[in-house]
Every structure is written in structure tokens, then in C-alpha cells.
A and B are shown apart, each in its own frame.
Chain A
Amino acid sequence: MDVSTGDIDAPHSMGTTIIGVTYNGGVVLGADSRTSTGMYVANRASDKITKLTDNVYLCRSGSAADSQIVSDYVRYFLHQHTIQLGQPSTVKVAANLVRLLSYNNKNMLQTGLIIGGWDKYEGGKIYGIPLGGTILEQPFAIGGSGSSYLYGFFDQAWKEGMTQEEAEQLVVKAVSLAIARDGASGGVVRTVTINSEGVTRKFYPCDKLPLWHEELEPQNSLLDILSAGIPDPMVS
């Protein structure tokens, strides 16, 4: 997620795929786990879905440092707000606090964020807060460099009122599609499901993800491929 250290003139790599989706009863947040510094993968198992409060989580993309500091500030403000109000903060309030920091410091920050959570007044909600500090409440939101490959996919695959299983499968499928095409996204898929009952974290390692097109199955050794006796997969 950091700025390329190799060629200074190389374009910045956002290096992420983040997704937030509402379903009938809550939200599902999903992300890949690759933190890249140019060509180098700094962390192949990072957790880009950060907790703000018990009922509100944040997907981070862009500069790692910027998104971390924003989430730390918002967590602090929300904690105080919860104490003052005497009840959990709403997702809208959390999103607004993130938006104010993003907008007022737009010259210094480079971070695209997706807020997702559940509160008793509005139910499950997703808010997208891209680079300039716009706030947009959406039924689903995508972000990061890998999201470019998902716009058409979501236009076709998104439906109103999905079940929790449908929503989770959609998120996992989408992140794995983005990982297949985007060099800056990779690793594992992490999801966080938030509803009235609470929060559930799930983890999908590489071998649990669907394979797309020309991708090979994970193998322990090339000798296994050769001794399998099947036509040589390296030759078409």
C-alpha cells in the first residue's frame, strides 16, 4: 500500500481490493491481504478491515499510514461519543467523522475508505469515502486498485435483499476475481459480517478460493504435476 520506493516516477499503486455490501439484515465487508511497496510485497497477510466500534468497521486502501491514522482518530472520537450518548454510535456518525478528517486534510492524505456497520435505527449500512472526502451511502461499495476490474461484475451480479450466505459468497468471489487480475492485490480473502447478532470474521486462504481461467491448482511440487501422468499442462 505504500509509495513505490524503486522508480520515483512510477505511478502510485493503491494495491488493494476492498468491498462492502449490504444484505437483508446487515453488511459484509471484504478485502484482500497484499501490502505492496512497488514490486515488493511487504505483507502478504495483512488485515485491511479495522474495527472502529463494536458495530462499525472500516476497510482501508491507499496509503497504509494515512488510513491507519484516520482510523485511530475516528476510533478515539467515536469512543468519546459513545460515552456521552450512553449508547452505541450509529454507522452514519462514524462515516461522517471519517469524512470530515478525509475532506479537511485532503491535501495531505491519500486514502480511500469504506465504512460498514449495523445500528438499531437504520440496520446495515455501507458508506464509501473515496480520495477527496466525498461521503456516499451506497447499497454496495468497492475500492482500491483491484476494484477497477469489478465494476462490470457488480453491475451484473448485485441484487437487492440477498441472504447472508449469498452476500458472503458474492464478496469472496469478487475479491478473488480482482486478485486474479490485479497485480497489486493478492494473498488471502478476509471478510467481516456485521448484523444485529454481532460481528463474525472469516478467512479464506488461497486454496479455498475459486480458480479462474488459466490459473493452475496449487501444487506442492512440480514433480507431482509430472508424475500425475496427465498431458503436460505447460504445453498447450
Chain B
Amino acid sequence: MSSIGTGYDLSVTTFSPDGRVFQIEYAAKAVDNSGTVVGIKCKDGIVLGVEKLITSKMMLPGSNRRIHAVHRHSGMAVAGLAADGRQIVARAKSEATNYESVYGEPIPVKELAERVASYVHLCTLYWWLRPFGSGVILGGYDRDGPQLYMVEPSGVSYRYFGAAIGKGRQAAKTEIEKLKLSEMTCRQGVIEVAKIIYGVHDEAKDKAFELEMSWVCDESNRQHQKVNNEISQDLLYIHAKS
């Protein structure tokens, strides 16, 4: 869907005659062209997964992380421009610690998502700022249970039980819809997310990739934890078999 703005796309503070802000749409393109990021809400927690495309063979595995812990109880997976994503994560971390120091309890995930979305939206309001070229999937476990939110470069944030952004999002969403998430535990969810990421990876276009995953669930004591690569090795095997 490439439409030329023809003059209405030069600034984020300009609307087009049909009511669109093109700069925000172009920012979303940056997210669409990045590696796939997937998040699902299982019955006992959240699983996040990232298809991390490796640009250079000399990169150390495990570096350039795309999933970050925002607080003890929540984590964020970023897609799009990595540097922009880092800023969003930094802001989320700051909001979370600030909330806890004022209110004395960990920030509810809903509140965190609203604050992150507010911040991302802020950068679409001024001509001297550009919109963030990254979208995030935020998963957390608070007193109201596990919750999954997605924040787009426009500043829009919705709560999901399954979300995907990046190159393979269409295929990933189809796969997620087939899953019976309300009956699945996170242990099973981790396998499913890895399968989806391996499934949507395009061998022809992008050669190497690294699978990065994390979870927050009852088994991890409601803390956000990185999921070990031993599991990924098993899945490589499962995937090769299928």
C-alpha cells in the first residue's frame, strides 16, 4: 500500500485532505519491515518471541537484545528501529519505578501501557520531533492476572490475547488464531511461539536469525524471565522434523 503523500507528508503536524497523517503511517512502515515479534497470553502467563535478524556473521549471539525487562513483573519486545525501541523501553522503566516510589505498589500493566502509549503519541504532536519508528509488545503479570498490550508508533494501544508485528505478522496472526490459548500453559506456549517464529521466517529473503524469547507466568513466579536457548534447540529439531 504505497501511496505518495504529495506534499502532505513532509511534517507530522500536517493532515492530508482525507484525514491521514502520513508521517505516522511511514513510521509504521519501519515496523512492518523489521523482524517478526510475537506475543501470546496463555492461561497462566505471557510469552514473547522475537525473530532477530542477524546482519553480520561477526555478531556475538545473545547480543543486541530485543526483549527487555521493564520491571520485575513485565517485559517488552520491540520491533522496528532498535534505537527508537531502546528509548521507549527506557521511558517504560522510568514510569514503572516512578509509579512504585509514589504509590508503593508495582505499576498495573494497564497503567504502564497507557503511559507508554501516551509517550509514543506525544512524539507525534510536535514538528521538531519525529514519531518513533518502532512498535512494542508489552507483557506483564499483575494483580489482575497476565495481560498483553501492543503499542504502535501512532500511540495507539490495545489489549490483546495474541499479537504480532513485523514482516511475518500476517502469517503469525493466522497461526496464533489457531491456538487454544485459554487452555494452554506457558510451557506449551513457549513451544508454540518458537514454532510460529521459525514458521514465518523467510529463508529466501533473510538468511540468519536468532530466536529470542521470554515469559512471565506462574511458573516463573510472576517475574519476567528470559527463556533459555536449550528450548530453542529442541524446537529447531521439532521444526526440522515437521
Write the residues of chain A forming the contact surface with B, with a CB cutoff of 8 angstroms: 81, 84-86, 90, 92-93, 95-97, 99-100, 121
Contact = CB atoms under 8 A, between A and B. Distances in A.
B104 interface: yes
Contact of A95 (B104, B110, B111): B104
A121 B114 CA distance: 22
A126 to B, nearest CB: 15
Given A81-B103, A96-B103, A100-B102, 17 more contacts: A84-B114, A85-B110, A85-B111, A86-B110, A90-B105, A92-B104, A93-B103, A93-B105, A95-B104, A96-B102, A96-B104, A96-B105, A97-B102, A97-B103, A97-B104, A99-B104, A121-B143
Contacts of A121: 143
Contacts, number: 24
Interface in B100-126: 102-105, 108, 110-111, 114
A134 to B, nearest CB: 13
**Nearest 6 Cβ contacts at the A-B interface:** A96-B104, A93-B103, A121-B143, A92-B105, A92-B104, A96-B103
Interface string B133-162: 000000000010000000000000000000
Contacts of B103: 81, 93, 96-97
A100 B98 CA distance: 13
A96 B99 CA distance: 11
Most buried by A among B103, B105, B108, B143: B103
Interface of B: 102-105, 108, 110-111, 114, 143
Contacts of B110: 85-86
A215 to B, nearest CB: 43
Contacts of B108: 85
Contacts of A84: 111, 114
Nearest to A86: B110
Contacts of A95: 104
A63 to B, nearest CB: 24
A96 to B, nearest CB: 3
A123 to B, nearest CB: 13
Nearest to A119: B143
A9 to B, nearest CB: 40
B147 to A, nearest CB: 14
A95 B103 CA distance: 9
17 contacts: A84-B111, A84-B114, A85-B108, A85-B110, A85-B111, A90-B105, A92-B104, A92-B105, A93-B104, A93-B105, A95-B104, A96-B102, A96-B105, A97-B103, A97-B104, A99-B104, A100-B102
